[in-house]
Amino acid sequence: MRRTNSLAALLLLLAAPIAADQSCVQLGPGTGLCSEIQGDLPREDLVYWESCDGTFENAYCWDILVLEEPYYGGFAEGFGGPAEVAGMRIYLTSMEGTASDDVDLYVWTAGIPGPGAVVAVVPAVVESIPVWPDVVAYDFDISADVGNRFYVGIWDDPEQGGCPWSWFIAADQNGPLGSPWTCIGPDWGYPTGWQDPSIVWGSTNSMGLGVYVRGAAGIGDHPGDRPAPHAPTWGQIKTVFS
């Protein structure tokens, strides 16, 4: 019985979010697997692309207390175009199971670096978000004509509830190198603006985001703009040497 209680306590500890500072939260490490796809995009007419490899080793969010407009606390993944974007996919999970949450979905042009101008934004509702490490994929319609580099992403409107009680976006830490980004607000303890999520949560190869396109000329080409490596944060150094 003692061993059972100890194991239960350990599992509870592993499942609890780990705050690297006051604002960034994660659910892993673990092995997140997608068990369901929600949405009814006409997949046979579209080309789909994602950088993730089918397993998610972690899941991230920014605490509701720091989320700010226009999309500080958002996440994005870059892709190669030109293309006619017709939809996007988001891989989400949660800490305790979430009934629903309102989110904003985006398509951005290329900025310097990472996402630039907004070319599409649509509100969406994500429902029945499973408990980590179960992951659900949501397919949504969103339309935009984009150039050689573009980005799709998600932001959680703090007025409609938020992290850590809504959703975490799944992250691939050992798949192919994609183009992962997160938008960091002023005074969050990291460089401000679009940054590599690796500087916050550790090595991240791609975010749980995919894109559906029509007439894709360059889809699948790596955008080639992975953020430059940053020096590890003090929190990461402590993790390594503790």
By DSSP bridging, strand 33-38 and strand 134-146 are parallel
Rg from Cα positions in the chain: 17
The one segment of 97-105, 174-182, 194-202, 217-225 that binds Ca ion by CB under 5 A: 174-182
Q: Is 156 in the site for Ca ion (CB under 5 A)?
A: no
- Asked if residue 50 binds Ca ion (CB under 5 A), the reply is no
Q: Which residue is nearest to Ca ion (CB)?
A: 55
| Backbone phi, psi, residue 214, to 5° | -110, 145
Exactly one of 174, 192, 203, 239 binds Ca ion (CB under 5 A); that residue is 174
Examine residue 29 and tell whether it contacts Ca ion (CB under 5 A): no
CA pair distance 76, 208, nearest whole angstrom:
9
What is d(CA 41, CA 47) in angstroms, rounded to the nearest whole number? 11
Between CA 221 and CA 192, with CA 53 as vertex, the angle to 5 degrees is 70
- Tokens 């500890």 locate to 13
Antiparallel, parallel or unpaired: β 98-110 and 115-129: antiparallel
Instruction: Considering only the stretches 51-59, 75-83, 84-92, 116-124, report the one whose residues sit in contact with Ca ion under the rule CB under 5 A.
Output: 51-59
Name which of residues 182 to 201 contact Ca ion (CB under 5 A): none
Which range binds Ca ion by CB under 5 A, 49-57, 58-66, 85-93, 129-137? 49-57
Q: Which of 17, 37, 55, 214 binds Ca ion (CB under 5 A)?
A: 55
Name the site residues for Ca ion (rule: CB under 5 A): 53, 55, 172, 174-175
